[in-house]
Amino acid sequence: GLDGFESTDAIIVIGATNRPDVLDPALLRPGRFDRHIVVDQPDVIGREKILGIHIRNQKVPVDDSVKLDELSKGVPGMSGADLANMVNEAALLAARKNHENVTHLDFEEAKEKLMMGAKRHMVISDDEREIIAYHEAGHAMLMEYIEEFDPLLKVTILPQGRGLGVTMPLPEERKLMSKQFCLASMAVALGGRVAEKLIFDELTSGASNDIEKVTAIARHMVCEWGMSEKLGATALGEKEGEVFLGKDIGH
């Protein structure tokens, strides 16, 4: 029923978008695009298959040690493009080390590089290195001891990507955020700042990214997920389509 096509024409019109939220509603009316197919990020099984496809297509020689199911488990949320990238990066690392076949460790290294950003060389004074170490230790301790949170995967004070230090969980595949998990995530994210305060009785600007994370979770909990006992199950978000000016005042 799209204008310009007769129903007898043997033509199928297919469209794709990453932003269904901002499509002109006219496109979605009955008789326009009749079938809507949601293509989500791949799940753990999808990721394993996608890895297999890229390995075959790029004719990457893989070692017997490579366990695709294990790799796939460790990269929740990765897209098809991310996975293609990971295969590429693993092949490059293997070539650099003169490996005949790409090993499981090559894949693990590629994974870390993609998830945390490349390691960077940076001159850091001993004093600052100590602050960074306590900051990361604060995150790591809470990650280890708070049962509601994901297990600790790795902690480092080697600069990676944009971070001077990183503490990484091994995230579980989850579709729902329980209130318990939200609170646990906030505690873990604040662990770095708390350690700095406890040990040095001083605050630094370094916790900016952690504070951003905590603020985002708290805002979601109260404004969208109805997890505030005082405000109750009320949607205070009004993210889209609302009066531009009123938005922030409402919050």
The residues assigned a catalytic role are 136
Q: Which of 103, 156, 167, 185 binds ligand NHX (CB under 6 A)?
A: 167
Q: Which of 162, 174, 179, 239 binds ligand NHX (CB under 6 A)?
A: 162
- Indicate which of ligand NHX, Zn ion, none lies near residue 129 (CB less than 5 to 8 Å, by partner kind): none
Six token digits for residue 165: 């230090």
Binding window for ligand NHX (CB under 6 A); candidates: 53-61, 71-79, 146-154, 199-207: 199-207
Q: Which of 51, 166, 186, 223 binds ligand NHX (CB under 6 A)?
A: 166
**What DSSP assignment string belongs to the chain?**
--TT--TTS--------S-GGGS-HHHHSTTSS------PPP-HHHHHHHHHHHHHHTT--B-TT--HHHHHHT-TT--HHHHHHHHHHHHHHHHHTT-SSB-HHHHHHHHHHHHH--B------HHHHHHHHHHHHHHHHHHHH-TTSPPEEEEE-S-BTTBSSEEEE-----S---HHHHHHHHHHHHHHHHHHHHHHS---GGGHHHHHHHHHHHHHHHHTS---TTT-S------SSS-TTHHHHH-
Q: What mask of x and - would describe binding to ligand NHX in positions 99 to 138, judged by CB under 6 A?
A: ---------------------------------x--xx--
Query: Closer to Zn ion at the Cβ: 42 or 138?
Result: 138
Q: Count the residues of the shown chain that bind ligand NHX, applying the rule CB under 6 A.
A: 17
Please report how close the Cβ of residue 190 comes to ligand NHX at its closest, in angstroms. Answer: 10
Query: Closer to ligand NHX at the Cβ: 47 or 135?
Result: 135
Q: Which of residues 191-210 bind Zn ion (CB under 5 A)?
A: 192, 210
- Indicate which of ligand NHX, Zn ion, none lies near residue 174 (CB less than 5 to 8 Å, by partner kind): none
The site for ligand NHX (CB under 6 A) is made up of 132, 135-136, 139, 162-167, 192, 205-210
The site for Zn ion (CB under 5 A) is made up of 192, 210
